[in-house]
């Protein structure tokens, strides 16, 4: 039986990259046979969000987002990371079998510090906490965007080191799973770099009306006229359209941009189509999001129930690991 698990940090409003790279896969995986664990990584978010009110609000928004997008709390165990303190116990055990060198190679740590984030010890050991998240539920499949693949590989290494050190198969080896299309595995931001909350180039999925229009207007373009033939791979708006459109329609837009000439679409046309496709995709979920958000007591109750179910498993795995290394 497969056990699906993934987490997302409540470090801001979920953007297109989070949706196409992660959340969509999480919700879709519920249709596959197996167990499903999804959580809001609030311990991880503390590496960047150090404002209690904001963190609490972000957690509720993230929960409302998942429910609005179709997460079913009956089929999937959906919870808040910090409600399962066993993961911090496992983090310590794993940190004792993890070499500094492994962490020093983490792209995400290097990227974040290169962008000027103060490197706390927590940021450095982030991948160990993430490995504990993954291993605590005997997960076999971890659906994530491309940027998280290295972290899953680190979890594989840590599981292997722990099992080898104590001569027992305590931890199950997880595999990452990427979205089917490359466009979705690495969604670009407004500036063409990877979309990320921490780069300030992100677009919230539930943007609407005037602010959606304003957001789409910020997608990087240039001053070339519509008639000028262009390489479609260099037109960022087409990368955004690729997220939403069926292949046949996307190819048609690309061909017309490539051909140029009279009647070729300008950037304005691409923006109009993008806004339309965006609305079709997200408007119904946006309405549900508002409803969930208006009922925080019910969100909290769902999270509490999820935490109970998650802890049952995490306690079993924690006990297994403690016994294996002589702490029991």
From the number of C-beta atoms within 10 Å of its C-beta (0-12, 13-18, 19+), residue 114 rates as exposed
144 binds ligand ADP (CB under 6 A): yes
Closest CA to 159 of 145, 144, 138: 138
45 binds ligand TRP (CB under 6 A): no
Alpha helix (H) residue ranges in the chain: 16-18, 24-29, 42-45, 52-68, 86-95, 100-104, 107-114, 121-135, 149-166, 182-185, 209-217, 236-244, 247-259, 267-293, 296-325
> Which residue from 73, 145, 174, 265 is in contact with ligand ADP, where contact means CB under 6 A?
145
From the number of C-beta atoms within 10 Å of its C-beta (0-12, 13-18, 19+), residue 96 rates as exposed
Known catalytic residues are 112, 194, 197
> Which residue from 3, 4, 5, 9 is in contact with ligand ADP, where contact means CB under 6 A?
9
Q: Between 133 and 138, whose beta carbon lies closer to ligand TRP?
A: 133
> Around Cβ 110, how many Cβ atoms within 10 Å?
12
Give the range of 98-106, 143-151, 200-208, 225-233 binding ligand TRP by CB under 6 A.
143-151
> Which residue from 44, 80, 254, 318 is in contact with ligand TRP, where contact means CB under 6 A?
44
Give the range of 112-120, 130-138, 190-198, 288-296 binding ligand TRP by CB under 6 A.
130-138
The owner of tokens 């129930």 is 305
State whether residue 191 is helix, strand or coil: coil
194 binds, among ligand TRP, ligand ADP, none (CB under 5 to 8 A by kind): ligand ADP
Least distance from C-beta 129 to ligand ADP, angstroms? 14
State whether residue 302 is helix, strand or coil: helix
221 binds ligand ADP (CB under 6 A): no
130 binds, among ligand ADP, ligand TRP, none (CB under 5 to 8 A by kind): ligand TRP
Closest CA to 205 of 36, 68, 96, 43: 68
> Which residue from 8, 135, 159, 303 is in contact with ligand TRP, where contact means CB under 6 A?
8
125 binds, among ligand TRP, ligand ADP, none (CB under 5 to 8 A by kind): none
State whether residue 175 is helix, strand or coil: strand
Provide φ and ψ at 66, rounded to 5°: -60, -45
> Which residue from 18, 139, 140, 201 is in contact with ligand ADP, where contact means CB under 6 A?
18
41 binds ligand TRP (CB under 6 A): yes
Cα 190 from chain centre: 18
Name the residues that contact ligand ADP, by CB under 6 A: 8-9, 11, 17-18, 21-22, 144-145, 147-148, 185-187, 194-198
């Amino acid at each position: 039986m497969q056990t699906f698990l993934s987490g997302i940090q409540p470090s801001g409003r979920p953007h297109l990259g989070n949706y196409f790279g992660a959340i969509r896969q999480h919700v879709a995986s519920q249709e596959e046979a197996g167990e499903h664990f999804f959580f809001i990584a609030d311990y991880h978010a503390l590496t960047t969000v150090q404002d209690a009110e904001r963190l609490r609000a972000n957690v509720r928004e993230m929960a409302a987002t998942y429910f609005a997008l179709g997460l079913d709390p009956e089929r999937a165990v959906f919870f808040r990371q910090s409600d399962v303190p066993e993961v911090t116990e496992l983090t310590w055990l794993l940190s004792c079998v993890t070499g500094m060198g492994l962490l020093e190679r983490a792209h995400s740590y290097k990227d974040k510090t290169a962008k000027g984030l103060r490197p706390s010890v927590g940021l450095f050991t982030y991948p160990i906490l993430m490995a504990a998240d993954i291993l605590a539920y005997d997960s076999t499949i971890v659906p994530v965007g491309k940027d998280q693949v290295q972290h899953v590989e680190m979890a594989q290494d840590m599981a292997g080191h722990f099992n080898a050190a104590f001569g027992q198969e305590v931890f199950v080896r997880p595999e990452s799973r990427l979205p089917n299309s490359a466009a979705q595995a690495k969604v670009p931001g407004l500036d063409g770099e990877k979309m990320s909350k921490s780069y300030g180039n992100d677009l919230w999925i539930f943007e609407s009306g005037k602010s959606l229009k304003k957001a789409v207007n910020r997608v990087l373009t240039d001053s070339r006229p519509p008639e000028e033939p262009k390489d479609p791979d260099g037109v960022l708006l087409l990368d955004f359209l690729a997220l939403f459109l069926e292949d046949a329609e996307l190819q048609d837009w690309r061909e017309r941009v490539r051909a140029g000439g009279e009647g070729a679409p300008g950037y304005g046309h691409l923006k109009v189509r993008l806004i339309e496709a965006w609305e079709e995709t997200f408007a119904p979920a946006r309405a549900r999001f508002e409803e969930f958000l208006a009922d925080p007591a019910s969100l909290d109750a769902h999270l509490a129930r999820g935490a109970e179910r998650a802890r049952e498993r995490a306690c079993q795995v924690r006990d297994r690991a403690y016994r294996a290394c002589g702490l029991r």
